[in-house]
Amino acid sequence: MAHYNLFVPLQAVGASLVYFDLFNASGSGVIVNVKSVIPVVSGAVGVTGAVAVDLFLTKTSTVGTTGTAAVNEGTSLTACTFTGHDTDSFRPGGVTARLTPGGGATAAGVLSWVSVFTEETSAATYSKVRDLVRQGYNSIPPVSLAGGQGIRVVQGSVASVGNIGFNVLLDIG
């Protein structure tokens, strides 16, 4: 089993924004085990916000369209990229991700949610944010995605200010 990080770069928050999707295509021949999805709020951007943003992790039944496709072993700090944790940098072609997909990434069931504060002068911004997959409970297994299944993170309908990225850990095998 190969271990990967899906780096999802910082994006401006936005009401009902789909930040990214990760999809395992039908016929890929692999299972994707999503071990964690951790939101990271940027403190490098000066913002004044009075409300937090709600982030929802959902399963998906279709692949995201438009947006920007993730690359393998990318070096850009502003691009979505898969990077191997071990010597295997190969990612099966049927496993894809998109930054800010404009279509597809159709919700198939809500897994969890977390509310994060994005105002850079508040200590709450830098508090440990719960993993959207395990919610702080190590006994909860990863989210397993067979062919034709995926996940996405979408913001709730309340707008705020700031930038959020995500660290996603997964196994493909």
Walk across the sheet containing 149-155 and list its strands.
Answer: 68-69, 95-99, 18-24, 149-155, 53-60, 107-116
**Residue 166: band (very low, low, confident or very high) from pLDDT cuts 50, 70, 90:** very high
Task: Write out the E strands in the chain.
Answer: 2-12, 18-24, 32-41, 53-60, 68-69, 71-72, 81-84, 95-99, 107-116, 143-145, 149-155, 163-172
Band (42; pLDDT cuts 50, 70, 90):
confident
pLDDT of residue 117: 80
For 157, what's the count of Cα atoms within 13 Å in the CB-facing half-sphere? Answer: 0
Residue 155 — pLDDT band, cuts 50, 70, 90? very high
pLDDT of residue 93: 82
Q: What is the pLDDT of residue 127?
A: 64
- Taking 60 as the threshold, does the pLDDT of residue 95 lie above it? yes
Higher pLDDT, 29 or 120: 29
CB of 173 within 8 A of CB of 2? Answer: yes
Residues 54 and 115: their CA atoms lie apart, in Å, by 4
Q: What's the number of domains the chain is made of? A: 1
pLDDT over 70 (residue 73): yes
Model confidence pLDDT, tens digit, residues 120-146: 666 555 566 789 999 888 899 999 999
Matching residue, tokens 């095998």 = 173
pLDDT at residue number 162: 82
Domain range spanning residue 39?
A: 2-172
Predicted pLDDT at 124 = 58
Among 15-19, 123-127, 140-144, 149-153, the least confident range: 123-127
Question: Average pLDDT of the chain?
Answer: 88
Q: Which of 63-72, 75-84, 111-120 has the lowest mean pLDDT?
A: 111-120
Whether residue 46 is predicted with pLDDT greater than 80 in this model: the reply is no
